[in-house]
Structures are given as C-alpha cells and as structure tokens.
Amino acid sequence: MDEVARALEAVLFVSDEPLSSTVLAQALETDRQTVEDALGELQRRLDEREAGIVLRNVAGGWQLSTSPDAAPVVERFVLSSRHARMTKASLETLAIVAYKQPVTRHQVTAIRGVDTEGVLRSLVDRGLIQEVGREEVPGRPVLYGTTPEFLQRMGLVSLTALPSLAPLLDAADRQDGEETR
C-alpha cells in the first residue's frame, strides 16, 4: 500500500485539477478500490500530522491543496512575490507590450533581441499582461496586452495616459546623428 500511496501523492502533487479515483487508478495501473483505500489513508495521515497540505474530495475528484490554517501565510507569500521588484528584462518587455499591444512573443523578441518566453510568462503570472487573442496568421500565435492590474500598479487611468515616446525618439535620433559625424 505504501508504494501506491507514494505514487498517488506524486500524481496528485503535479496535477492542477481534481482527479477522480478512476483516473488515478488508470494512472497507477491498479484497481479503483486500491486507489480509494490509499486516498483514505493519505488523507488520514495528512490530517493526523496537521500537515500544511490537505487532501480534499472536490468537484468529483481528489486534489491536494494548502491547509486552510496556513491561508494567511500563503496569501502573504503569494502577494509579496507578485509585487516583488521587477528585473530590467521584465520592465523592458512590459514597456514593449504596453506600447505595441496587441503583440506576439515573436514581435517582442525581435524588438528586444533576446528570447522573451520566460519573461512574458512571468508577467502573465504577475497579472500584468494577459492573452488578448490570436494573430490571424499560420500557427495563430498568442497576442499579449496589458491588464487592469497593470494600469493600477502603474497609476494610470487608461493606456492613453502612457507617456508619449516621441520626445524619446527625437532625442535618440539627435544622438545617432551626432555619433555619425
């Protein structure tokens, strides 16, 4: 039973949705009754030791989740990591999305000159950008745009309140002209 319980716990850990005992039995290549017995045992063990995670039967399946007793600590941690200081790469990528939206990962990568997949994923996780559609070309790449959370964090009423890029572009053109002399 310990081998089944260990495998069951691992599968539940990596799943982001509740899994029925039938699905779990198929994944573990065992019968449903063995899985249900192991689920009961796992749930009992977690409850007995007052673990930080609990096993719940929700939405027609089983799922590991954080203990309600740990909610304040988990909430503080999640919120602090979402508002952690952003890297230069994140700020550059966020600026490109804000000014060019809707924009694809490929377009952002072309502007920055480096792969931006991880940075975009981080900005999505922080709730600053989101998928706003798909470009109507082969492969239908995701189009990204900013979120209301972006506006709130930047203190903007709307995207029209973004500062104009024209003065910066004029200054860059003047500087380029001086360097070529």
Asked if 107 and 148 sit in the same domain, the reply is yes
Ordered DSSP codes for 56-119: EEETTEEEEEE-GGGHHHHHHHHHHHHTSPPPHHHHHHHHHHHHH-SEEHHHHHHHHSS--HHH
Domains in the chain, number: 2
pLDDT at 56: 87
**pLDDT tens digits for 161-171?**
888 877 766 65
**pLDDT tens digits for 39-64?**
999 999 999 999 899 998 887 889 88
The verdict on residue 165 lying in a domain is yes
The verdict on residue 120 lying in a domain is yes
Asked if 66 and 92 sit in the same domain, the reply is no
Cβ atoms of 21 and 12 within 8 Å: the answer is: no
The verdict on residue 66 lying in a domain is yes
The verdict on residue 26 lying in a domain is yes
Instruction: Tell me the mean pLDDT in the region 90-109.
Output: 94
pTM for the predicted model, two decimal places: 0.51
Say which amino acid occupies 12.
L
What domain range includes position 6? 2-70
